[in-house]
Structure 1
């Protein structure tokens, strides 16, 4: 009979004003974790009070506009052999918790990539590049390190195990509940991303004001089959496109809104229209193909 060494598992949650979510998040991992570490950015609501009542260890970190700078700090405070990183607006199932426990005890891997089920405006987004949305969230301590830059995947070392992209393996993410929530983050994140883009050596090309948003919409709605997500898929593809537009228009702003010749703009818009036209007729199962043929 094979005997497994018992591995201590720490769950790490970064928070700021998450009183509406923290109970659900902690409850979902309470029986899975040997330790729950809540790294709070001086919440002004009852987040810390609720977390304490649920037995979490509370640490604090200065407030930042995005979570990545606080990730490594929070992980360092955890004492487990294995770390599971959970956002406050997420939860996991008992089935997933049991799978992760088994992987930790078998000790044949160093980090695990998990699919994530994004629920946006009340709907699970099964297409539009929102699924399977793989993330590295379970790992041996010391094998995963986050960058201080927004929305960057962490650096990993060692052997990866990738869970199958099926619903029972997924972290459940209650992503955007309202349009205001989406727009607030979009404005805040675009400001940060535009600065970091230029710090990375990006030289502004005005064509990116057209190309990047167009590419974002087409890749989500057509290539990513966002149309299969109904009106949610269409609206979210547009919103993600707008998010890209904001990033690059902020870069343009930093360039003092330099003007461009009208003919150049018309030429670039025509290119974008041709690319959209290509996708409209590309897939036989795309419902917009029939509409386009009726219009021609």
Structure 2
């Protein structure tokens, strides 16, 4: 028996599409965190069991609560803004019916649709997530975006579009910034409780490292304007976390010298120039152009 667990908070735009795609499971458990729109009215038009969970601003604790309520021996975790294609549903039914296999959990690939585009780089694809597992083999930590704690053997499904969850992620900048504000507040509080302090160097290193990772190392530039925009937004998110951590310290006053600012700014520029040259060197070029880029990379290493 497969039970699907869906957590919701004001998902009236998405919930019908999500629940419609779950017609292959034997039970659907909806964990609602205080929706004030028509989410529950729409959800109850489907054969679902609805339970309430306090609003936390993130989903991990609600997932654990849902696991405790589900009756199936195999559990499928689905976000309300996700869809399970028929081909993936058939595959999960096949896996759950195999009595010989020893696998306890599966990482499912996820196709992220962000601002109207399937994002194939920047770490957004194949974006494997632990979402299908035998009951008792997976629980979530209490931290935002925490890694699940697993027991037993796990396996990844192939990164194929027809075997992927479809995640209709951010559909507007307003939605992205609203979630950014919510998530960064939680992240800053978690750092504060671990006695972390905001430092000037972090305001440079955290954003630039995030940008370099997303845009260069994970080849976000291959997603064009979308890739650049997302790398900048995720870099900005890192800065906001540091500023909110500073806020939690009471906006501690601290002197900043221009020489220190120049050192940190120059270092951030060197990092970006190094990785830019590194990526450009991967493309076929004339000898002189390649030599120039190698020198540029060396100077910024």
Common fold, TM-score beyond 0.5?
Answer: yes
Q: Does 1:55 align with 2:50?
A: no
How far apart are residue 286 of structure 1 and its match?
Answer: 6.3
Question: Superposition RMSD on alpha carbons, in Å?
Answer: 1.7
Select the residue among 243, 253, 258 that pairs with 2:253.
Answer: 258
Quick check: 2:15–2:80 contact (8 Å CA) kept in 1?
A: yes
Counterparts of 1:210 and 1:152, CA distance in 2: 25
How far apart are residue 200 of structure 1 and its match?
Answer: 2.9
1:35 aligned partner: 27
Q: Does 1:13 align with 2:3?
A: no
Select the residue among 20, 44, 47 that pairs with 2:36.
Answer: 44
1:236 aligned partner: 230
Q: Matched residue of 1:275: which SS?
A: helix
Counterparts of 1:201 and 1:100, CA distance in 2: 43
Q: Within 5 Å, which residues of 2 pair with 1:81-96?
A: 81-96=73-88
1:122 aligned partner: 116
Select the residue among 53, 64, 71 that pairs with 2:56.
Answer: 64
Counterparts of 2:30 and 2:75, CA distance in 1: 13
Counterparts of 1:269 and 1:120, CA distance in 2: 31
Counterparts of 2:202 and 2:110, CA distance in 1: 30
Quick check: 2:108–2:130 contact (8 Å CA) kept in 1?
A: yes
2:299 aligned partner: none
1:271 aligned partner: 267
Counterparts of 1:83 and 1:201, CA distance in 2: 37
Quick check: 2:198–2:243 contact (8 Å CA) kept in 1?
A: no
Counterparts of 2:252 and 2:84, CA distance in 1: 46
Quick check: 1:14–1:71 contact (8 Å CA) kept in 2?
A: yes
Q: Within 5 Å, which residues of 2 pair with 1:198-217?
A: 198-217=192-211
Q: Matched residue of 1:53: which SS?
A: coil
Q: Which shifted more, 10-19 or 258-267?
A: 258-267
Counterparts of 2:37 and 2:246, CA distance in 1: 37
How far apart are residue 165 of structure 1 and its match?
Answer: 1.4
How far apart are residue 189 of structure 1 and its match?
Answer: 0.7
1:24 aligned partner: 17
**Per-residue CA distance 1:224-247 (angstroms, 9 max, x = gap):** 111110100000100000001100
How far apart are residue 52 of structure 1 and its match?
Answer: 1.2
1:112 aligned partner: 106
Counterparts of 2:79 and 2:5, CA distance in 1: 8
Quick check: 2:60–2:142 contact (8 Å CA) kept in 1?
A: yes
Aligned residues: 283
1:5 aligned partner: none
Counterparts of 1:228 and 1:137, CA distance in 2: 28
Unpaired stretches in structure 1, ≥5 consecutive residues: 1-7
Q: Which shifted more, 203-212 or 151-160?
A: 203-212
Quick check: 2:180–2:237 contact (8 Å CA) kept in 1?
A: yes
Quick check: 2:192–2:248 contact (8 Å CA) kept in 1?
A: no
Counterparts of 2:233 and 2:134, CA distance in 1: 36
Runs of 4+ in 1 over 4 A off after TM superposition: none
Counterparts of 1:150 and 1:243, CA distance in 2: 15
How far apart are residue 159 of structure 1 and its match?
Answer: 0.6
Quick check: 1:216–1:237 contact (8 Å CA) kept in 2?
A: yes
Q: Does 1:160 align with 2:154?
A: yes
Quick check: 2:197–2:246 contact (8 Å CA) kept in 1?
A: no
TM (norm. structure 2) is 0.90
